Structure 1
Amino acid sequence: MSQRNAFVVAVLSQMHAPYRWGGKGELDRVANKRAFDCSGLVTWALREVGGPDWRYSHNTDVLLAQCLAVPKEEELLPGDLVLYHRKGAPLDAEHVMVHVGGGVVVGASGGGSTTRTLADAAKANACVKVFGSLDYRARRMGLRRLPFRS
């Protein structure tokens, strides 16, 4: 299996894992679940498949800056990233999702800076989930490719 495909499998393996602001895949021992924020899911999955350990050095802005740009939506591959900007700040990335094919994206979503516990996540339905469109959220700002070996 290619590193790219293994990355997509790792992301999908965390479906419904709770969202936690700043979560990088740490295991909650009480619930026996990992918790993620959007960039935490991406960096955890990349590390899981033998990529660099960016969990504590890369947030959404750094992923935007350091990954290769995908110039056209038609060139997206499964495992590429879709980034979204803050309202009123088109150069400030605030959210990232993983394209899994066919315009479908998966990622940790529904939370925010106030989602710090599993109870917060449950109340907000904040978790790793799927959306059927790259534009499920307004303000798409860019498409990026992680540095996969294969």
Structure 2
Amino acid sequence: MKKWLALGCLPGALFVVFLTIVTAVIVPSQFATSEAAASAGQHGVACSPDGSNIPNGIAGFRGEQLQNASLIVAAGKEMNLPQRAWVIAVATAMQESTLRVLNHGDKAGPDSRGLFQQRNSWGSLQERMDPKSSAKLFYARLIALPNWESLPLTIAAQKVQISAFPEAYAKWEKPANQIVGAIEGVKCRQVALAPMTPKQESTVIGAAMKQVGVAYSWGGGNATGQSYGIKQDAKKMGFDCSGLALYAYAQIGVTLPHNTQEIWRKFQPVITDQNSLRPGDLLLLGYGKSTSQIHHVGIYLGDGAVVEAPHSGAKVRVIRDVFAPGAYYASEFVGAVRPGSRSLLV
């Protein structure tokens, strides 16, 4: 949370919207990542990549591990929980036990047991050693968290587990999506993003550019223009990063959530190839390039330029050469989205 305050965007407060392009862009459902186990699949979507299947293994996991993942998903279904909960639970068990029912703990928690390495206070040994029962113990604490569905995966998992390594869960989000997708029989597909009209593109960019020089206000901005923010900016009129985008795209009738993480999940597929970017695309940034820690958005203008509302104390501005070596966007860019664009299976 301190990082969000420092940067000035609401946690996930990303306004993501749709943009115009002259030609349709093909977005592969598989793209590179630094995590070997997460080398295929689709960001933020529970689906399994082409060529993968449960008998042959998924994301480096197989056999008993995938059976345990299936039991975690089954427990979530029995509790009528949404898919997001299953993904968080599977990713957590990947980190804690590599999806194995461990009958031992470690120095920090010698009484930790099972898939989730739950300690004595969580429940009986029998419960903690049973995949479905231990998953239900995890789910019960997860859904007790306020707004758990909107939290980045690594934060939701950490709030439940109270781990000594709070950032460790993030790297398992994509393989967890792959495994849940495989369990559900959902394959990742290639899609084409239909273009916006030039008029829509110019309207969005024009609306954002007219706000250059307006004060940044954390939490500020809505479909009609600048507004008072929250917290330290409660008495200041202006826009935050997502508020600016939200306003710009409202001018063409596109309604977006004022939350970066929710927009990332809602407006798939994403564009990860910088050469495929078009003016109006929304560029999403994540701490450590993590898709579970998205915190900022800028509206792409083309030719390496972005219009954005950066942080408290600043004003809406245009920055250039955003992908130059060492540039802020280059170091945290996780992908771009085009909300409102029609996705076509190919």
TM tier relative to shorter chain: 0.7 to 0.9
Distance 2:272 2:290 in 1: 21
Contact 2:227–2:239 (8 Å) recurs in 1: no
Tell me what 1:62 maps to.
262
Given candidates 14, 21, 45, the residue that maps to 2:211 is: 14
- Which structure carries more strand by proportion? 1
1:78-137 Cα offsets, whole Å, 9 max, x none, are: 00011111258552110000100111111101x2xxx3xxxxx2xxxx111111123441
Shift of 1:34: 5.4
Tell me which structure has the larger Cα radius of gyration.
2
What is the TM-score normalised by the length of structure 2? Answer: 0.34
SS at match of 2:293: strand
Tell me what 1:43 maps to.
246
Are residues 1:23 and 2:220 paired? Answer: yes
Distance 1:64 1:133 in 2: 24
Contact 2:286–2:292 (8 Å) recurs in 1: yes
Name the CA shift for 1:148/1:10 in 2 (closer, same or farther; >3 Å). farther
Shift of 1:66: 2.1
Identity among equivalent positions (%) equals 30
Name the CA shift for 1:74/1:11 in 2 (closer, same or farther; >3 Å). same
Contact 2:208–2:245 (8 Å) recurs in 1: yes
Given candidates 66, 69, 74, the residue that maps to 2:275 is: 74
Where does the alignment leave 5 or more consecutive residues of structure 2 unmatched?
1-197, 229-235
The root-mean-square deviation of aligned C-alpha atoms, in Å, is: 2.3
What is the TM-score normalised by the length of structure 1? Answer: 0.74
Distance 2:289 2:308 in 1: 23
Tell me what 1:139 maps to.
332
1:46-97 Cα offsets, whole Å, 9 max, x none, are: 1122222x3xx33121222222412411111100011111258552110000
- Of 87-96 and 39-48, deviating more is 87-96
- Which structure carries more helix by proportion? 2
Q: How many residues align?
A: 129
Tell me what 2:296 maps to.
95
- What letter is aligned with 2:275? E
- What letter is aligned with 1:60? T
Given candidates 122, 127, 133, the residue that maps to 2:315 is: 127
Where does the alignment leave 5 or more consecutive residues of structure 1 unmatched?
116-120
Distance 1:102 1:141 in 2: 18
Given candidates 104, 107, 112, the residue that maps to 2:305 is: 104
Contact 1:80–1:99 (8 Å) recurs in 2: yes
Distance 2:322 2:336 in 1: 10
Name the CA shift for 1:85/1:71 in 2 (closer, same or farther; >3 Å). closer
- What letter is aligned with 1:22? G
Tell me what 1:5 maps to.
202
Name the CA shift for 1:144/1:21 in 2 (closer, same or farther; >3 Å). same
Distance 1:43 1:141 in 2: 20
